[in-house]
Amino acid sequence: MRRWLWPLLLALLLCGPALATTYTLGAWTFTLPDGAEASTADGVRGYRVDGGLYIFTPPEPLAGRTLEAVAGATIADLTRGQKSTVERVRRETVDGTTLLAYVGGVTDPQTGAGLVHVYFFFGRDEQWGLALLMANGADSIDELMEPLATVRFRPESLAARQGGTETLVPKLPALPWATGRPDRTATSAAAVTYPAARKLGLDPRTDLLPDTFDCYFAGESGRRSVRTMTPTPDLRVQVAAGGTYAVNDGVTRTSGRWTQPRKAGETPTLSLEGPLSARETYVDGDDNGQSFEATHAASGRRVMCYQAGPRAEALRLELTRGRVGTEAMTCQEARGGPPFALTFGTGTYSTPKGGGRARLVLSGDTSTERWDGLAEFSGGPFDLHIGTMSEDEDGNRELRVTQTITENRAFYTGSTTTLLALCRAKGMPKPRLLYGRTPAPATGVSGGPDGLFVSLQNRPRMIGTLVMDWYELELSLFRPGGYHLAGLDPTELGLIPDCGRTRPNGDPFCERYTLKGNQLSFRDEDGTWEEAETYRKTEDGFLLGETRYVRVTPLTAAGLAGVYSTDDFSGNGPPGGALGGGVGLYNSLSNGYLFTPNGQFQWKYSSSSSTLISPNPVLGGVTGGGGSTRTDGGQGRYTLKDNWLTLTFGDGRVQRLYAYGQPAFFLKEDPSRGQQLNIGGSWLKRVGQP
C-alpha cells in the first residue's frame, strides 16, 4: 500500500473534487461532495458521505510535544483493541504547515469488519489538528480521498486564542420576538435597497440582490411542515454579485454557486448549487424586500429565505402574530355553552374541563409563503385537534380549534373541517410595516390635487366576441407634490398613506405623476410615462380628460344608521320594512351590520367552502367532496371620525375600518347607489332603517 499511496496523494494535491461544497470551520477550510451529512460532538465535526466519514478536530496546543508524538498517541488511541496496519507514508512542510500522512486498514478481530483509515495531521504555530477519513473499503478509496487534497489548516496564534480574540464562524444571533412600531416604520434598512439595485442594472422585483438573507427551515425532514416556535433564523446566507454565496449555520461556513440566466420576455429563474439547491425557482421582490425558496442539501429540508432588513423584520412580525401559548385565552365552544379559560404550560394545556399535551409549532407553507402558529393537542377535551392562531394589527388574537375528518372510499377521498371552539385574547398591537426610514425624493411638482377621491374607471371587458365598456369605482389618493396612489383597497389602508415617505424597500411609497400647466401624466410601474391628459379643477374634485374624480366626504352617524346586508347585493334580498325593519330585519340576514344613531352596532358573518373531488377515471364526473363553515360576529359600540369607523366589541376586540358611500355626482346617474356603503373594502346595501 505504501508504494502506491503517496503518488496518489501527490496527484490529489494538484486537483479537487467537482460538484462540491466548500466549508470554513474555525481553523479548517475544506471541500466535500454535495449532500454531506454534518454532525457535531464536543467541537469535533463529522461529515458522512456514501462509503465513508470525514472527521475534523479543533486545534490544540502541541505543548512541547512533536507532531509525530501526537500522531502516534492519537492513532494508538483510535485503533486500541483493533488489528491495525496504519503506517506513516509521508512528512512534508509547505508554507509553514507540517503535514504527516498515515494510512492503513483497521479490522475488528472478533467480527472481521474493517475500515481504511487515512490520517492527515497538521502542525502550525505550535498547534495541531487532525483530518481523518474512515472509508468502508478500498473499492472507493480513490474517490473518497479526493477531498483531502482541499484541506487547509490555519489556526489563530496561541497568543490570540488565549487573549479571547480567536476568529470563529460567527454564531447566529438569537433574535427576539417582534413588537411592531405604532407608526409602522421599519426599524432596519436593507444593505441593498431597490433604488440602489437599479443603479447596478438589476430589477429588484425579480433579480437576486447581492445581500444577506435570513433563512428558516419550513419543515422537518420526513414530517409535516413544522418547525420549533422561535424567530431566530436557522441559516444566514451571504449572496455575492459574482455568482457565489456563503451559508453560515452558526457552526460552519459553506459556499456554493448561483445562476440566474436572462431570457427576453421571461422572468429570470434562480438556480442554486452547493449547500442550498434549487432548480428554476423565482425571486419574490415585494414592498419590504426580497425572498426565495430552496432546499437545504444536507438535511433535505425546505428553507424560506428573506432579505436582511425590513423583509426579515416583516417575517418576524408574522411569526410573532402566530405565536401560541403566551397568554390565557377565553374560549367558546361552537355548540354553545358558557365561556371557559385556556392556558398553556411547557408542553401542556389546561382548561376547567381538563388538560393534556400541546405541541406548539410554526408551520411554513412554501406554496403560499405563509406561516401559521399551531397548537397540536393530545389528551383532554381537545384531544387530536389542532388550534390555528391568528392576530390582526390591533392585537386581537384568535385561536381556532378545529377537527378534520377525512373519508377514503372506493371512488373518492374527501375531507371536512369542523370548528369546535373559538378562543380569543387581546394583545399588544403589532401593525405590519408600511414605511421605510427615509423621505421620498422631491419631484419638483406643486399645485396638484390633494386628498382622497372616488372615480368611475372604464376597464373594457371581452364579452363573447364584443368588447364592452365596464365601469368600476376606484378610490385614489393624491398629494400636491407629484405623488398618488390609485386603486386603494380600504382594507389595506391601515393609516392614510404618507406619500412623503418611502416603502421599506427604499422605493417611494406612492406612484409619480407630473403636472405641467394643465397637462397631467402618470408614470407606469415600468418607469414609462403615460400620455398626458387635461387637468381641470371642479367644485367637488377635478376632471382628468373625461374621467371625473370626486372628493370623498366624511360620513356622519346619522348617515350611517341603518341595516346593511351583503346577502344579495343585486337588490333581490328582503326589502326594507318587509320584516318590520330594525332588529327583525337584521336577524333575517346571514351577513350584515346594524348601526343605531346612538353609537351601538351588531355584526354577523357566515361563510362556507367545499372541496371538490377530481373526476373519477372510471365512472366519470365529480364523485364526492367535503367542506367547512365559518361563522363570526358580535356587538358593541362604534365611533365615527372622518371616514374611520372604529368598532369596539363587548369582548374587548377593536376593529378600525375605512368607510365611505357613493358621491353625490354618481347618485344623479343612479339613485340606487345612495343605498350602498363601503366598509373595510366590502360593499353593503342598505336594506332598512335601524
What pLDDT does residue 404 have? 81
- CA distances to 372, 416, 571 from 434, in Å: 21, 37, 37
Q: How far apart are CA 112 and CA 686, in angstroms?
A: 88
Model pLDDT for residues 479-520, shown as the tens digit of each residue: 999 999 998 876 565 556 688 899 999 999 999 999 999 999
* Percent residues over pLDDT 90 in the chain: 40
Q: Is it the case that residue 623 has pLDDT exceeding 70? A: no
Residue with the bigger pLDDT between 616 and 136: it is 136
Average model confidence (pLDDT) across the chain: 81
What pLDDT does residue 491 have? 59
133 in Cβ contact with 148 (< 8 Å): yes
Q: Is it the case that residue 289 has pLDDT exceeding 50? A: yes
What pLDDT does residue 158 have? 59
Write out the three cell numbers for 136. Answer: 468502508
* Percent residues over pLDDT 70 in the chain: 82
What pLDDT does residue 17 have? 43
What pLDDT does residue 356 have? 94
Are β-strands 370-378 and 354-365 bridged in parallel, bridged antiparallel, or unpaired?
antiparallel
CATH 1.10.10 holds for 194-321 = no
When pLDDT is cut at 50, 70 and 90, the band that residue 624 belongs to is very low
Residue with the bigger pLDDT between 466 and 271: it is 271
Q: Which range is most confident: 283-292, 444-453, 524-533, 618-627?
A: 283-292
Sort 372 into a burial class: Cβ within 10 Å, 0-12 / 13-18 / 19+.
Answer: buried
Tell me, yes or no, if the two domains 194-321 and 557-611+627-688 fold the same way. Answer: yes
Q: Please state the rounded mean pLDDT for residues 454-472.
A: 81
When pLDDT is cut at 50, 70 and 90, the band that residue 659 belongs to is confident
Are β-strands 396-408 and 461-463 bridged in parallel, bridged antiparallel, or unpaired?
unpaired
What pLDDT does residue 575 have? 29
Superfamily of structural domain 2-162 = Mog1/PsbP, alpha/beta/alpha sandwich (3.40.1000.10)
- CA distances to 29, 136, 273 from 144, in Å: 17, 10, 20
What pLDDT does residue 409 have? 63
When pLDDT is cut at 50, 70 and 90, the band that residue 265 belongs to is confident
The type of residue at 223 is R
Q: How far apart are CA 610 and CA 562, in angstroms?
A: 33
What pLDDT does residue 168 have? 52
Q: How do the residues of the chain divide into helix, strand and coil, expressed in percent and rounded to 5?
A: 10, 45, 45
Q: Taking the CA of residue 496 as centre, how many other CA atoms within 13 Å lie in the half-sphere pointing to its CB?
A: 13
Q: Is it the case that residue 3 has pLDDT exceeding 60? A: no
DSSP string, 109-132: TTT--EEEEEEEEEEETTEEEEEE
The type of residue at 647 is L
Q: Which residues contact 105 (CB under 8 A, 6 or more apart)?
A: 84, 85, 86, 114, 115, 116, 117
What pLDDT does residue 14 have? 38
Q: Is it the case that residue 587 has pLDDT exceeding 70? A: no
Model pLDDT for residues 74-107, shown as the tens digit of each residue: 999 889 889 999 999 999 998 889 999 999 999 9
CA torsion through residues 234, 240, 245, 248, sign: negative
When pLDDT is cut at 50, 70 and 90, the band that residue 161 belongs to is very low
Residue with the bigger pLDDT between 173 and 537: it is 537
Q: How far apart are CA 656 and CA 675, in angstroms?
A: 22
Model pLDDT for residues 304-339, shown as the tens digit of each residue: 999 999 999 999 999 999 999 888 999 999 888 999
Write out the three cell numbers for 458. Answer: 372604464
Instruction: Tell me which fold the domain 557-611+627-688 belongs to.
Output: Lipocalin (2.40.128)
Q: Which range is most confident: 9-13, 245-249, 572-576?
A: 245-249
Any idea where the domains of the chain sit in the sequence? 2-162, 194-321, 329-426, 451-551, 557-611+627-688
| Number of continuous H segments (helices) and E segments (strands) in the chain | 10, 48
When pLDDT is cut at 50, 70 and 90, the band that residue 382 belongs to is very high
Q: What is the 3-state secondary structure (H, E, C) of 548-577?
A: EEEECCCCCHHHHCEEEECCCCCCCCCCCC
When pLDDT is cut at 50, 70 and 90, the band that residue 667 belongs to is low
647 in Cβ contact with 638 (< 8 Å): yes
- CA distances to 94, 373, 406 from 403, in Å: 67, 16, 10
When pLDDT is cut at 50, 70 and 90, the band that residue 610 belongs to is very low
Q: Is it the case that residue 581 has pLDDT exceeding 50? A: no
Q: Please state the rounded mean pLDDT for residues 218-237.
A: 76
